[in-house]
Homo-oligomer: A and B are copies of this chain.
Amino acid sequence: MTDRESSNIRRARIYSSAADAGPLEENASKQEAGAPSRLGDGAFRWDGVDVLAYKDEGSAPFRAITRQVLFQRPELSCELRYFEMAPGGHSTFERHNHVHGVMIFRGRGLCLVGEEVREVAAPDLVFIPPMTWHQFRASAGEPFGFLCMVNAERDKPQLPTPEELAELQKNPAIAAFLAQAD
């Protein structure tokens, strides 16, 4: 076996719900015991993958959400990221020219895509088309995580102006979605 540090294989770890606590269990040791790997209630971490702030604090509205970049390589024209929200957390309500290919990875929550508000659960797929307002919310009282494939070269997200927000909120489904406790 190659040394883990130089390996192209990154083991997943499942941490307790306190993000800074030590690993409760690791897939490798579970495998050795013959137990199947299960997604626990804890946060997902991968060897060699840093847990990052979702965005720079104050740059946009978001809450209780972390970002992990799983694949970002010069040979790949896309990146694969993993976003995880604590209960009550949400991503930024935004739009941009680039698209997202999303797979719900753990738990369930709500997503808004354009004028569509849906409850989604792992492993549902969500496509975010260009210039489409969108947001994910961990509204089900449980952690909510999703994978997001995105072009490596992409434009910056846009936030709604107060006027755009007022216009959007004329749609009752969008108004109810955005009115959830922040």
Contacts and interface: CB of A to CB of B under 8 A. Distances in A.
A75 interface: yes
A99 interface: yes
A100 to B, nearest CB: 9
Given A78-B149, A116-B7, A149-B80, A101 B1 contact: no
Nearest to A8: B127
Nearest to A114: B8
A100 B116 CA distance: 33
A107 interface: yes
Given A37-B108, A99-B76, A121-B31, A9 B115 contact: no
A75 B130 CA distance: 8
A125 interface: yes
Taken together, the copies of this chain in the complex come to: 2
Contacts of A36: 107-108, 121, 142
A127 B37 contact: no
Most interface-central of A37, A105, A122 (chain B CB within 10 A):
A37
Interface in A150-179: 151-152
Contact of A126 (B1, B8, B105, B108): B8
Interface in A36-95: 36-37, 39, 44, 46, 49, 70-71, 73, 75-78, 80
7 contacts: A1-B116, A7-B116, A7-B118, A8-B114, A76-B99, A76-B101, A77-B78
